[in-house]
Amino acid sequence: MVSEFRNHPLTDFSKPENKAKMQEALESVKSEFDRIYPLYIGGKEVETGDLLKSYNPCKKDEVVGTFHKAGKKEVDQAIEAAQQTFKSWSFEYPQKRADFLFKAAEVMRRRQFELNAWMIHETGKNWVEADADTAEAIDFLEFYGREMLRYADEQPVTPVPGEENELIYIPLGVGAVIPPWNFPLAILTGMTSAAIVTGNCVLLKPASDSPTIGHKYLEIIQEAGLPPGVLNYMPGSGGTIGDHIVSHPKIRFIAFTGSKEVGLRINELAAKHQPGQIWLKRVIAEMGGKDAIVVDREADLDEAVEGVAVSAFGYQGQKCSACSRAIVDESIYDEFVEKLKERSKKISIGPVDDPNNYMGAVINKAALDKTLKYIDIGKKEGRLIYGGEKGSDSGYYVQPTIFTDVDSKARLAQEEVFAPVLAVTKARDYDHALEIANDTEYGLTGSVYTKNEDKIEKAKKLFHVGNLYFNRKCTGALVGGHPFGGFNMSGTDSKAGGRDYLLLFMQAKSMSKKV
């Protein structure tokens, strides 16, 4: 009997033994730096000779790993291998498929500090953020394994006299999983494991900024005993193979997390029928946000300041759930701004293998250039009160940056920056604040700080986001507790870590027999 799901606990790094384990892991994985990793297709390692290097954004000349890149030929080979494997994997007992996830969770728990270390080095997450990422990945494995067992149980149907009726869920086929670099283990694990446990076979194309983490997931799922061909590891350039994967007539679904622009491109390509294609492709997409925290005049101001700071500058603002807009009642606006400025001064910046640094570098040079461009825009649209400068040239560092007096229609208040840049906007009152909060094309996360229960109830009805929080930060969704996914241009309304998520990777088959 499988136990009830519980979220994996976070590591307490104030304990000397945990701190020592983390430091040991950080040093240990360096011995594997610049290792060359092959593709993995149908259970075989494949080398193409076309190489991609992954770098540490905090130490931009430090190579974390080197990867053979897939081309269109390898994509076709992987789809063929996955199709062949699907013939048997799709009929594997759901209990056995779930067991692979439970075994993988055990391996992941054992390798937790090592996985944290890889993320710290490859994606610039600080210790706490990396540990939370690993914990969430473990949660996805445990949660989706249990969910598969639930869906494999007898499903309720209305009795019909003279008939035996049943409804079962069957897998879709061969799909593409395209995860982001900002949650390089958690989201990758969640999307891939959901597809696998429901009986599908997968082409996994990891983000080009975090292919090492993708390979570590492959190692873990191999150790759990997953049959060859179920998961095919395909790092490569999105510009070279992305359209080919999505457009391929044998691809049945695409699970994607990333930018709005790429998500829309995938949705458009997937909607176009290809010769030989016998289905409508399914797209499961999460595409970011322009998330707001509303600070009411009846809020605990110190709590609100802390929530905004952590939400805006945690992991360098590179979360789709990050607060990029603070909307503050005019009666407390000046006091809030001053407190937020003082709080932000306490943020330490530098290489995050040092636990004393809260903020590392943004992910790459393109991200840094985009951030600096938006800072220049912000100087024209608002009043810069803190930050706004590059950090050390040893990595892609930028200061936490705050602009105040930003109009709700300004670019800085409307466009996703994906960086530690916060726009603060003044609201006349609570109703006006909610109006501003809803005034973007996105609808992912949001938060409201207020002690007034009536105002909380109003926000529940009117604040149009997929994940809404009260008197707490707008980041840090927990699997099972906070099913995650948003509205409008934030995606396809799917809820990762929720009880309906696995349905997106299956289809229902109804059967009736006369008796």
What is the rounded CA–CA span in Å between residue 97 and residue 145?
8
Interacting residues of 333 by C-beta distance below 8 A, sequence separation 6+: 426
What is the rounded CA–CA span in Å between residue 128 and residue 475?
13
What is the rounded CA–CA span in Å between residue 482 and residue 476?
9
Residue 194 parent element (H or E): helix 186-197
Residue with tokens 């903020």: 359
Look up 435 and say whether it is catalytic: no
Pairing, β 442-443 against β 487-488: antiparallel
What is the rounded CA–CA span in Å between residue 390 and residue 244?
38
Look up 4 and say whether it is catalytic: no
Pairing, β 467-470 against β 282-286: unpaired
Tokens at 75, concatenated: 């994509």
Write down the catalytic residue from 58, 122, 142, 320: 320
Tokens at 127, concatenated: 């210790």
Beta bridge partners of 294: 327, 448
Q: How far from 184 is each of 59, 79, 213, 309, 318, CA to CA, in Å?
A: 18, 23, 6, 23, 12
Write down how long the chain is.
515
Q: Are 477 and 453 within 8 A, CB to CB? A: no
What is the rounded CA–CA span in Å between residue 247 and residue 358?
41
Amino acid at 440: T
Phi and psi angles of residue 185, each rounded to the nearest 5 degrees, phi first = -105, -45
- Indicate the DSSP class of residue 100: H
Write down the catalytic residue from 129, 142, 147, 286: 286
What is the rounded CA–CA span in Å between residue 429 and residue 392?
41
Amino acid at 72: K
Q: Are 352 and 124 within 8 A, CB to CB? A: yes
Q: How far from 153 is each of 160, 178, 387, CA to CA, in Å?
A: 20, 30, 55
Amino acid at 448: V
Q: Are 328 and 426 within 8 A, CB to CB? A: yes
What is the rounded CA–CA span in Å between residue 150 and residue 169?
11
Residues taking part in catalysis: 286, 320
